[in-house]
Structure 1
Amino acid sequence: MSGDSGKSSWPEVVGLPSDAAKQKILADRPDVQVVVLPVGSFVTMEFNPKRVRVFVNPDGDVAQIPKIG
């Protein structure tokens, strides 16, 4: 699957533990880097088509829809 035609967001992983979400994202898009961060983390604003940020709550569960960027 090419990086331009693959899935770009994962609403189905909201509420899952970060490790399970990361595995699902990488199963769909093995060409991306998954970065797990706490909600509210400061991040750069540049778009990166090979990155998916996964924001987690204090319990380590996905709090927002992960998406390419």
Structure 2
Amino acid sequence: MAEENQGHGINPPQEQPDEPLPRTYNQLLRTNNPTKTSWPELVGVTAEEAKKKIKEELAGADVKVVPQGSFITFDLRYERVRLFVDESNKVVEIPRVG
């Protein structure tokens, strides 16, 4: 009878994390530097200018130019910044990390 219950129905003790879950973007990236996550000042400039400015301020940014109204995925990526542009290639929404 004791053999029937060996290893079944018993959960091993779970390890507790040594540190709390991240609460901010900087904690998630494990940095203490305040990192910019949006660029409202870039609305109205060309996509090329905006891309250059974002890459200066966020090293490793993956900047994507997207026509306004396009379908996008809603997955969260901390290295991605989307630039929504109009037909004249000017930024029409605030670029944000994600």
TM-score by length of 2: 0.65
1:32 aligns with 2:61: yes
- The structure number with the bigger radius of gyration is 2
Does 1 or 2 have the higher relative contact order (CA < 8 Å, sep 6+)?
Answer: 1
More strand, by proportion = 1
Identity of aligned residues (%): 40
Q: TM-score, normalized by length of structure 1?
A: 0.91
Amino acid at match of 2:97: I
Runs (4 or more) in structure 1 with deviation over 2 Å come to 2-5
Tell me the CA shift for residue 32 of structure 1: 1.2
Equivalent in the alignment of 2:75: 46
User: Which segments of 5 or more consecutive residues in structure 2 lack a partner in the other structure?
Assistant: 1-25
2:89 maps to: 60
Compare 4-13 and 37-46 and name the one that shifted more: 4-13
**5+ long unaligned stretches in structure 1:** none
3-state DSSP of counterpart to 2:82: strand
2:48 matched to which residue of 1?
19
**Residue deviations 1:11-57, cap 9 Å, x none?**
01000000000000000002210000100111111110010000001
Size of the aligned set, in residue pairs, is 68
Give the counterpart letter for 1:44 in structure 2: T
